[in-house]
Structure 1
């Protein structure tokens, strides 16, 4: 832990060493919520979000806050290890081409609905989920845009790995927006003491709306995993179609980093909101990706109670998307990747929002959380497909 700020209703415990003022203000808003529990924890990748900083961990008593989960509910990582130790460039290019043919990227989705057997159980769900179920069938097994990616990596264990970052697509956003709007309307009706400009409208945990939200949120978490799982299966099909040798894949590691859940901390049952943070209980396996062109990590949680058994979900942005496009040098970012021999997705200025220069130093991030996780495998990027 780097610092504790104690001037608010509850403390802010920080593992982040380079926090911008806007993210600090959001953290102070969290720390002054009347139902915030014990302290607010900021992971080393923390940066400004909407309402709650991304990289923040908030425990509450008696309420759930939709904006403390965010719009891409269930967004997270999955990874598998292969039994192959080397990939030549030509095979790598064929694999990347095959992935692009099998998996829709960005705003694209499947022309035909995917088989419902791959979807989570859809019985007794809130109307907002039912209303977007058909579209979700077409988006199942698609990457999405922004910082989502599929990456082929070489591990410090001398094996090739596959890693995917994606979420619940439009379904999660619809659920998040729907219940945040309900929370805002109810808070206004109740003359809530939480300022509206904090964007932290809440739902009392015993209310019908909160129970519906938690049910819909969990469905989105399950859907996001189903989405990543389908993509991983299609990546594995691609590997097998390109390489004639016998390929084996380990069981999938799956980690969500946008969700809320009941947990027991400091003697109390509380709702822990992780917005851009992952669970890091003692012995729990986690995934911490770097930025495009930098290392990613398979880690093991140390179960630090001060972070609510959490750690960072990645490197974390150091500049906004538009800022990155304005300020980063395109050729410099391309050279950074080309010099490492990485097959990458930086082509023009619009791609600079996902360049490594837009993100924090992953080495510093990992150094700042040595008391939260230990590194099991370091993963160097070989090729990346971006949304």
Structure 2
């Protein structure tokens, strides 16, 4: 059994993927070209925004937006404490200061009440200037963007939606990566929409921002790549990856998003009342980058993970350490009482195998093992 079965996906679309790759090789347009332009148009249309700017990876996508906004030293950027390192890393990389905020225990996403409290506290301290909120759509579930947008407007802050895990999710029909002033996603292979290497994208309705990003991602180019009007970076999506993503986007839209939610429902039917299962608020739709359960304590979680491994069932802990406890942020000062939920989640969460090609027999196998362990523990 695979945690996320990319081989099964490839076998189903082997002919289309091989053809797409071969066409790129035949034309020898390995950087840029028609597949990249077409993919950006297709992604923008699917998400429901004017512009999609592809780039090298999801981390670079976040960095590019912060660069375009001029975020730097003395600026405060608000980031959930329970997320992957990159969401905070890009803030420090730009010379700004990440302000970590505890999350909602049910959704795993940034707690909007604690977010506003952190903004007010930062303003009162007067050492940093609040500039940006980076809500993360964790495990495929969009953050509470409706309330976050109200807070951002109240305090005149920019919103950069981190949709690395959220592509395909939605709130009342409005798709992830369409919220805020700009949004990003990742095409890392294990993401809801993944390529065969690294890749990322930025989404926005801001014409000027899109133009600036298209310059920054190619060495600050002007009219052409030898006309450099600003300092930029080299962050482009390879044409082969774009060609692969075109095939996989079609599959994602046609059935994968629906299939992964079928898997979610089957898991819920079998595990409800046994463990704490994922909570999807009314009006929300998740793309289920992960199916994450909660156990009673760290001992039970770790024991279950060992037991599953013995049964040939893979599982993962996302995330074993809060952002505020990462050594890279040891220069910052924190109050542990501000992160009670995140500290608990890092001890009790466990993600089970989750992908569109998971069979009902495999789901039953996983659930049977979970129940067996909990009954004896």
TM-score (norm 1): 0.26
Instruction: Select the structure that is richer in helix.
Output: 2
Q: What TM-score do you get using the length of structure 2 for normalisation?
A: 0.27
Relative to total residues, which structure has the larger strand share, 1 or 2? Answer: 1
